[in-house]
Amino acid sequence: MKKLILAFALLTSTAIFAETETGVHTVFSRISSADAEAKMMDVVEAIKSRRIRLQNCNSRNAKVYGAGVNGMSYRVNRHGELQKQWSAYVKYRCN
């Protein structure tokens, strides 16, 4: 009987884990890393309060499990000039 219960628990936990999807939401700023960080924190709050529609969540509960601010990089504009750009990311999981 114990083995049957353990097997059922393992099967249930595997099924729950199989339905979990993860994703990354990226934000950009051309002002500064502090602005990218502020935008990142806004996205974290929007995910927590379900104000943002995430691409692969399909209206399921999303939980943030990581975030960070990347360093400065350069991007070419439409005139071929280099412009500074900072980026930040928010990692989330949908159950």
pLDDT tens, residue by residue, 51-64:
887 777 765 678 89
Contact yes or no for 75/93 (Cβ under 8 A): no
The Cα 28–Cα 32 span in angstroms is 10
Q: Cβ contacts of residue 66 below 8 Å, gap of 6+?
A: 90, 91
Give pLDDT tens digits for 19-38.
Answer: 678 888 899 999 999 999 99
pLDDT of 76 > 70? The answer is yes
CA distances from 48 to 67, 70, 75 (A): 13, 22, 31
Q: Cβ contacts of residue 35 below 8 Å, gap of 6+?
A: 29, 86
What are 36's two structure tokens? 């990218």
pLDDT of 6 > 70? The answer is no
pTM of the predicted structure, to 2 decimals = 0.70
